[in-house]
């Protein structure tokens, strides 16, 4: 009897994965979910122009991903393309618009993972590659490794002829002013502005969103399920303002900030040290697997995500996640807000910022 029960459980768990592996193009519905960072994002903290800009950026990224997926695009292509647009958008802390280290430079991290094969690639501490997510993909597809860092990652990017950028390209005035404030709070000296950076300019206070003033983190992430049933997750970040000593957070750590398997894909944003300690991304997906027989796919995923957010909060960590579990969108946060958006073949586009949306 016990053997029969075990066999039934195994079959139930394997069914969605088998469906994903065996589906041909168009047989499965596509799905996508995006985040642009979580934090103390409350109504009234941003002026109308800034809020509208964030919503428009999320909507544009969502439309790009949805159009690609509905046309049958591969999930890895979709995740890379959408994250590249967010890396070029100075509103977000990834690529252009990333935060600065205490030494006054941008150090970028990214990762990507394909759920059908568990193939993954990640980079950390990159300073001269325009699109770290593309470099992470190159690591996944064209190297025997999973993670490359610093000078080695830059050398590999050169071999792959990926687009480069100098520090002035990544520079934004609001991130620099955020660095100056943080360094003064820490009693550390303010370094010279990066070579080629524009002259100082005033910033509208309303344009400095409350997440940037109250927190030092921010990340962009995308999870997509393509029409082949393959779930892919990717994440990209500039890390934390005034980080020191080559600090690396959860974003490039497979299992902590990014995870994808046969049923689940997840991208995280928040206080990276806690997400690493709790191996947040993989743990939520595995817990959802454990719970789904009793509670069903969607309820299990939300329950697993909410439990992890509560556990993080109790331990002092904050942030949020977006995930697809068997294509169903789930998000959870223990902060007042998170920039997020989702869409699916039979779902209307959804864009939100605040926790009560």
Identify whether 101 is a catalytic site residue.
no
Contact in structure between 87 and 238 (CB atoms under 8 Å): no
Asked if residues 106 and 127 have their Cβ atoms less than 8 Å apart, the reply is yes
> Do 249 and 241 form a contact (C-beta atoms < 8 A)?
no
| Token digits of residue 232 | 């892919």
- Between CA 200 and CA 181 the distance in angstroms is 14
Q: Strand pairing partners for 32?
A: 224, 343
Asked if 297 contacts 327 with a C-beta cutoff of 8 angstroms, the reply is no
From the candidates 85, 172, 219, 227, give the one annotated as an active-site residue: 219
Bridge partners of 122, per DSSP, are 111, 147
Distances (CA, A) of 182 to 159, 222, 321: 37, 29, 26
Cα(242)–Cα(22) distance, rounded to whole angstroms?
A: 48
What are the backbone angles phi and psi of residue 328, rounded to the nearest 5°? Answer: -85, 130
* CA 29 remoteness from chain centre: 22
Helices (DSSP H) in 23-91: which residue ranges? 48-70, 75-87
3-state secondary structure (DSSP) of residue 103: coil
CB 90 within 8 A of CB 97: yes
Helix (DSSP H) and strand (DSSP E) numbers for the chain: 11, 12
Tell me which residue has tokens 């439990």. 307
| CA neighbor of 343 nearest in space, from 12, 3, 82, 49 | 82
Phi, psi angle pair for 54, to nearest 5°: -65, -45
For strand 119-126 and strand 147-149, is the pairing parallel, antiparallel, or unpaired? Answer: parallel
Any idea which residues carry the catalytic annotation?
A: 219
């Amino acid at each position: 009897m016990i053997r029969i029960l075990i066999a039934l459980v195994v079959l139930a768990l394997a069914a969605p994965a088998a469906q994903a592996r065996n589906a041909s193009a168009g047989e499965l519905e596509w799905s996508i979910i995006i985040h642009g960072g979580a934090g103390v994002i409350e109504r009234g903290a941003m002026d109308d122009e800034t809020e509208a800009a964030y919503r428009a950026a999320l909507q544009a990224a969502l439309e790009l991903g949805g159009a690609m997926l509905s046309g049958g695009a591969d999930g890895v292509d979709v995740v890379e393309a959408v994250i590249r647009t967010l890396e070029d958008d100075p509103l977000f802390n990834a690529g252009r618009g990333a935060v600065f280290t205490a030494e006054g430079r941008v150090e970028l991290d990214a990762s990507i993972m394909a759920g059908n094969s568990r193939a993954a690639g990640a980079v950390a501490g990159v300073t001269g590659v325009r699109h770290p997510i593309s470099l992470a993909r190159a690591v996944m597809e064209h190297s025997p490794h999973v993670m490359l860092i610093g000078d080695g990652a830059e050398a590999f990017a050169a071999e792959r002829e990926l687009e480069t950028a100098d520090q002035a390209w990544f520079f934004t005035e609001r991130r620099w002013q955020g660095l100056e404030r943080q360094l003064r709070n820490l009693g550390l000296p303010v370094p010279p502005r990066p070579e080629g950076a524009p002259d100082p300019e005033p910033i509208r206070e309303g344009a400095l969103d409350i997440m940037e003033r109250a927190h030092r983190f921010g990340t962009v992430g995308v999870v997509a399920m393509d029409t082949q049933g393959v779930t892919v997750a990717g994440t990209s970040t500039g890390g934390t303002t005034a980080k020191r000593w080559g600090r690396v957070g959860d974003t490039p750590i497979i299992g902590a900030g990014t995870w994808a398997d046969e049923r689940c894909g997840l991208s995280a944003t928040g206080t990276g040290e806690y997400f690493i300690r709790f191996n947040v991304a993989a743990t939520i997906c595995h817990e959802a697997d454990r719970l789904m027989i009793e509670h069903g796919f969607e309820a299990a995923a939300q329950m697993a995500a909410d439990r992890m957010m509560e556990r993080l909060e109790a331990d002092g960590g904050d942030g949020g996640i977006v995930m697809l579990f068997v294509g169903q969108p789930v998000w959870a946060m223990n902060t007042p807000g998170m920039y997020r958006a989702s869409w699916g073949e039979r779902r209307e586009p959804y864009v939100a910022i605040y926790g009560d949306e």
